[in-house]
Chains A and B, each alone.
Chain A
Amino acid sequence: SQTIHQWPATLVQPVGSPLSLECTVEGTSNPNLYWYRQAAGRGLQLLFYSVGIGQISSEVPQNLSASRPQDRQFILSSKKLLLSDSGFYLCAWSVLPTFSGGVIYEQYFGPGTRLTVT
C-alpha cells in the first residue's frame, strides 16, 4: 500500500533563516505531488504541484520554492523565512490512471509539518 511521509513534524525557525521540508511517497510511481499551506483555523491553499521529476508549477507568488529531485520526493524550500510563512504545511499525492485501467482522482495527504517562524 502507499504511504506518504513528511519531516520534520514540527519546526521553529527564526526570521531570515533557510527552510527545507521534505515529503516522500512509498508504494507508487510517477505520482502527482502537491504542497499546501494551512493557516490556523483556515482552509488549504495550494502552493505548488509537480507532475514529474523536475516539473514544478507554482500556484501563488511567494517566498517559497519547490523541487522534485526524484520521482517520489518533493521538497519545499526558502532561502529566507518571513513571519508570514508560519503555518501548517501538507504534502499530498495522487496517481491517475492506474495500470488496472481504473482512475484515482483523490489526493492523499501526509501528516504535515507545523512551521513557526519567530
Chain B
Amino acid sequence: AQTVTQSQPEMSVQEAETVTLSCTYDTSENNYYLFWYKQPPSRQMILVIRQEAYKQQNATENRFSVNFQKAAKSFSLKISDSQLGDTAMYFCAFMKPTPKAAGNKLTFGGGTRVLVKP
C-alpha cells in the first residue's frame, strides 16, 4: 500500500514571500499521479496542481509550482508571491491509475497548515 508523508504540520510566511511544502511518498509503482489540494477555512477541497509521474517536467499553475523528484519519491509544492488567500491546509495526494472499476483511490498525506501573514 502507498503512503504519503507531509513532515511539516504548520508553516508561516510573510505576504509576497515564498514558501515550500514538502511531501514524500512510498510506492513500488512506476506510473502514478500526484496532486496538491488546498483546503481553506471554508473546508472546500480545491485542486491546486497535478503531476504525472511519467513527465519529467515539473508542473506549474500560476504562482504554484512543484519540484518532482521521482527517484527520491519527493513532491514539494512552492507557493510564490504568497497572498493572504493562500492561508489554508495543503494536502499532498497519490493515485495509482487503475481501471474505473477499481476506483482510482487517492491516498492523502496528513496535511500542512500554511499561514500567510500580512
Contact = CB atoms under 8 A, between A and B. Distances in A.
Given A108-B47, A109-B44, A112-B44, A42 B111 contact: yes
Q: Tell me which of A34, A88, A96, A106 has the highest count of chain B C-beta atoms within 10 A of its own C-beta.
A: A106
A90 B45 contact: yes
B104 A43 contact: no
Interface residues of A, number: 25
Interface of B: 33, 35, 37, 42-47, 50, 91, 95, 97, 100-106, 108-111
B29 to A, nearest CB: 13
Classify the interface of chain B: helix, strand, loop or mixed. Answer: mixed
Contact of B47 (A34, A57, A106): A106
Rank and list the top 4 A-B pairs by shortest CB-CB distance, nearest first.
A109-B45, A43-B110, A49-B103, A44-B108
B35 A106 contact: yes
A107 B104 CA distance: 9
Contacts of B103: 32, 49, 51, 57
Nearest to B92: A43
A114 B45 CA distance: 14
B109 A43 contact: yes
A105 interface: yes
B100 A32 contact: yes
A32 B99 CA distance: 11
Nearest to B50: A106
Contacts of A77: none
